[in-house]
Structure 1
Amino acid sequence: MGQGGYIFAEWDSIQKEYPDFQRAFADLETKAIRSCTDKWFPKLTPEQAFGALTPNSDQFGRTTILPALFDDNAGNPMDTTHGGGSPAGTWRQKFTTKGHQMILQGNR
């Protein structure tokens, strides 16, 4: 069995280098939102049913791996206060110690 893993890429570079991927991803997102609306909220429009990152109790939403929703290796939120964007658009961290350590954890 493989070890698994993740690849993190900056969204701007994906948009610039792979415009076909960007268009396919946008189309897939639209189809997924419509499908969820049709199945879960047939009397609503996608705009009414989809709450994006902050859905209400009568909506569905999406998950995210935005850096601002995580704490870095020092336990600080990866947000504007700690060197990111708004919301943070980078996963950059400075590691100053060797050895086993937590590198990322959720903060919400």
Structure 2
Amino acid sequence: MFSFFVGVQDSNRAEVLVVHKAVDLFCSSPLYVGRNVVFESDSRVAVSWINGKGIGSYAHVNCIYNIRSNLKFLGGEVKFKSRASNHFADRLAKLGSSIEGDFVEWRDFGG
């Protein structure tokens, strides 16, 4: 789990940055390469862009192409999950909006 401050962004840009960070964190650990990791996002728009339906504005291009490339490397995918159904992600999002520093904690969730 992680949380980090993205600054003042529109919600779609912020979500793309968060997914980018998550994918990069998993790529940094050889334990997860090729493990079919599933990343969940509460932004239908960002998930759509990441999964190949456009790229949003020009500001998103590099981030999205990097995410797509790293997902192939990991054997991972990004799926939509509403924030209302994921209270844990909601708490992390609120934590990230209130601090200026990264929080990262690795846990084994038994999967």
- Pair in the same fold by TM > 0.5: no
Larger radius of gyration: 1
**Greater share of residues in helix:** 2
Instruction: Please identify which structure carries the higher strand content.
Output: 2
Q: Place the TM-score, normalised by the shorter chain, in its bin.
A: under 0.3
Which structure has more RCO (C-alpha within 8 Å, separation ≥ 6)?
2
Scaled by the length of structure 1, the TM-score of the pair is 0.27
